[in-house]
Amino acid sequence: MNQFILGLQARNLSVEIHHHSAYQIVLSNDSPFNSTINGTLYEHIHGFLIKPQVSHHCIAEKGTLNVLNIEPYSTLGLELSGRFKENEEAVIFSSPLETNAFFDTPGDSLNIHLILDALLSKLPAADYDERVSKIASYIKENYFKSDITPQTFANIVFLSPSRLASLFKQQTGSSLSKYLLWTRLRQAIYITLTDKEKSLTDIAYDTGFYDLPQLNKYMYEMFGMPPKALKFSSDLIQIY
């Protein structure tokens, strides 16, 4: 149930100064890039890990970037929070060797899938309650329905909304509402980047948002940019 990770690989990615509520890992797949983090310019770096709500932007007019966004209160987000030194807002990687040393992956070239595996291997083995798994499956199959409420979930597993909310948070580290939101955002971003002809309004409706302003609001809150910025400022290679 790794719905609290949203990753994409894109070329020619350049974004304005922004901040967001997710932990973010940005890694170059090939050429170094420049980034300004909380007012400090870092040139010719190969990547960084940044805390939530820290202002930053990237300029990578050449090469490919991998971008991972992680829900801060998920199990993985809490694990990442422990990797920062006191008062540290970002970890900068000056080379692929530094990147691999930090994530405990082999070699001196980047393999984002090995890094993902290494991140997930640090987490305790998950043995989810069958009711939590049932809700996760329901969300996967029905995220596009805009009328989902806490009572919807409670009726599926015959628990009160408050008891189910507590159980879900205990097992995943985050709330049911955030899990549903991240599932919708993952789909919205995927469609935005793979179907450039589809209007953003239609994408919002098709992924369970009430309208485009609501999608814009949550996209900016979680990832620091509206879907329009993704649609026109990068060339998607893959989403994972």
pLDDT in tens, 180-222: 998 999 899 889 888 888 999 999 999 999 999 999 999 888 8
The answer to whether residues 12 and 235 touch, using CB atoms and an 8 Å cutoff, is yes
Query: What pTM was computed for the model?
Result: 0.82
For the stretch 63-82, pLDDT in tens is 788 888 888 888 888 889 99
For the stretch 152-176, pLDDT in tens is 999 999 999 999 999 998 888 788 9
Q: Please name the helix (run of DSSP H) or strand (run of DSSP E) that holds residue 68, with its range, or none.
A: strand 56-70
Please report where in the chains the tokens 């015959």 appear, as a residue.
Answer: 158
- In angstroms, rounded to a whole number, what is the distance separating the alpha carbons of residues 209 and 181? 9
The answer to whether residues 55 and 39 touch, using CB atoms and an 8 Å cutoff, is yes
For the stretch 128-152, pLDDT in tens is 899 999 999 999 999 999 999 999 9
Report the interhelical angle of 96-103 vs 112-121 (nearest 10°). Answer: 20
**Residue limits of CATH 1.10.10.60 in the chain:** 130-227
Q: Which two tokens stand for residue 238?
A: 């893959």
Task: Round to the nearest angstrom and report the end-to-end CA distance of the chain.
Answer: 13
pLDDT band of residue 57 (cuts 50, 70, 90) is confident
For the stretch 89-133, pLDDT in tens is 999 999 999 999 999 998 888 888 888 889 888 777 778 899 999
Q: Please name the helix (run of DSSP H) or strand (run of DSSP E) that holds residue 13, with its range, or none.
A: strand 5-14
Res 11: pLDDT: 73
**Residue limits of CATH 2.60.120 in the chain:** 5-121
**Between 8 and 218, residue with greater pLDDT:** 218
What is the longest distance spanned by two Cα atoms in the chain? Answer: 55
Closest residue by Cα to residue 26 from 3, 49, 42, 8: 49
pLDDT at 238 exceeding the cut of 70: no
- In angstroms, rounded to a whole number, what is the distance separating the alpha carbons of residues 194 and 120? 27
pLDDT at 233 exceeding the cut of 70: no
Res 21: pLDDT: 86
**Helix, strand, coil % in the chain, rounded to nearest 5:** 45, 25, 35
Res 155: pLDDT: 95
Please report, as a single letter, which amino acid is at residue 110: L
The answer to whether residues 167 and 131 touch, using CB atoms and an 8 Å cutoff, is yes
pLDDT at 2 exceeding the cut of 70: no
**Between 46 and 226, residue with greater pLDDT:** 46
For the stretch 13-47, pLDDT in tens is 666 788 888 899 999 878 889 899 999 999 999 99
User: Which top CATH class is 5-121?
Assistant: mainly beta
Dihedral over Cα of 209, 3, 190, 83: its sign: positive
CATH T-level topology, domain 130-227: Arc Repressor Mutant, subunit A (1.10.10)
CB atoms within 10 A of CB 47: 26
Res 16: pLDDT: 73
